[in-house]
Amino acid sequence: MHPAQVEQVRRFNRLVTQRVGALDESYLRRGRPLGEARLLFETGAKGADLRGLRDKLGLDSGYLSRLLRSLQSQGLIQVRQQRQDGRRRRVRLTAKGRAELAAYDELSDALARSVLAPLGQAERGRLLAAMAEVERLLEAGAIEIAVAAPASADARWCLERYFTELAERFETGFDPAKSNPAADDDLTPPAGCFVIARLNGRPIGCGALKLRTKRIGEVKRMWTAPEARGRGVARRVLERLETEARRLGLKTLRLETNRALKEAQALYRKQGYKEVAPFNDEPYAHHWFEKRL
């Protein structure tokens, strides 16, 4: 990683903690200790149960208890036993509490507006676009790639969306029955494997590996959810499949793809796959690729 790149990230961190963080701490508390303000905010209009609040804010139970007592004595919240489980308790905002929350919301809005205020229309658009981009790419850090059973609910969900998308994008439509099959068993160790990418626990992409011989494997079912594209999900899934392939002792990976899937082809080429002559009769394929591991 280039030092100048690291320096840019550090500069960004510095600026942003100064400009955003500092304001957050001083402006956004309305004369209340930060702990209470955060608690009020996290409780929200819908209320919450204590257990959830403790986990989310990482508070000691004793500390939370005292914070709640304080907010209660200010008339902002009510704490009540839950019906189903008498040990648990729920917090709910009173009318006064909701008014207070609305005030926080308004402050937060004002803060956001103050960022946009000195800018002209064009610059605002650029700032917002850049913020969205930073957001998307920072989120990539929270993406996890994991091996999963192809019969699991998450895998099914991915495959369903994958097939739906193929049907929409292929000129000829797509019928899984006519395509070369890849049964669950073929995608389960030791015959192969299935990999899922998750963002905050929700599946956003997948990929699979199927052994053809002891030395040759096939990559299949590569898919990224449209809302998660542009974050390198597919690349990371593919890299993970290659790692698994090496672990299984494979020497060569093959894959085929449809001409409608331009991004996929670009990815394969960038990752070192070379186009080769057709090695199977997959009816939906137009391009065949191969990579020596």
Partner DNA sequence: GCGATTCTCTGACCAAAGTCAGAGAATCAT
Partner DNA sequence: ATGATTCTCTGACTTTGGTCAGAGAATCGC
Nearer to its own copies, 236 or 254 (CB): 236
Q: Is 21 in the site for DNA (CB under 7 A)?
A: no
Q: Which residue has the tokens 């942003």?
A: 16
Which of its own copies, DNA, none interacts with 87 (beta carbon under 5 to 8 A by kind)? DNA
Which of DNA, its own copies, none interacts with 51 (beta carbon under 5 to 8 A by kind)? DNA
Q: Which residue has the tokens 């990683």?
A: 1
A 10 A CB-CB count for 118 gives 8
Residue from 61, 172, 243, 280 binding DNA (CB under 7 A): 61
Q: Is 33 in the site for DNA (CB under 7 A)?
A: yes
**Cβ partners under 8 Å of residue 158, min gap 6:** 196, 203, 205, 206, 221, 223
CA atoms of 6 and 253, how far apart (whole Å): 34
CB of 99 to its own copies, least distance (A): 20
Nearer to DNA, 61 or 243 (CB): 61
Query: Which parts of this chain interact with its own copies (CB under 8 A)?
Result: 1, 5-13, 15-17, 19-21, 24, 108-109, 111-120, 123-124, 126-128, 130-135, 137-141, 143, 230-232, 235-236
CB of 83 to DNA, least distance (A): 8
Q: Is 54 in the site for DNA (CB under 7 A)?
A: yes
Phi, psi of 108 (to 5 degrees): -65, -40
Question: Are the CB atoms for 231 and 139 separated by under 8 Å?
Answer: yes
CA atoms of 127 and 120, how far apart (whole Å): 10
Using alpha carbons only, give the angle 187, 191, 195 rounded to the nearest 5 degrees: 35
Residue from 9, 34, 127, 153 binding DNA (CB under 7 A): 34
- In b/e form, how buried is each residue of 143-179, taking b as 16+ CB within 10 angstroms? bebeebbbeeebbeebbebbbebbeeeeeeebeeeee
Nearer to DNA, 61 or 172 (CB): 61
**Cβ partners under 8 Å of residue 22, min gap 6:** none
Q: Is 64 in the site for DNA (CB under 7 A)?
A: yes
Q: Is 56 in the site for DNA (CB under 7 A)?
A: no
Nearer to its own copies, 41 or 279 (CB): 41
Span from 52-60, 127-135, 136-144, 257-265 in contact with DNA (CB under 7 A): 52-60
CB of 269 to its own copies, least distance (A): 13
Which of its own copies, DNA, none interacts with 103 (beta carbon under 5 to 8 A by kind)? none
Q: Which residue has the tokens 């149960």?
A: 49
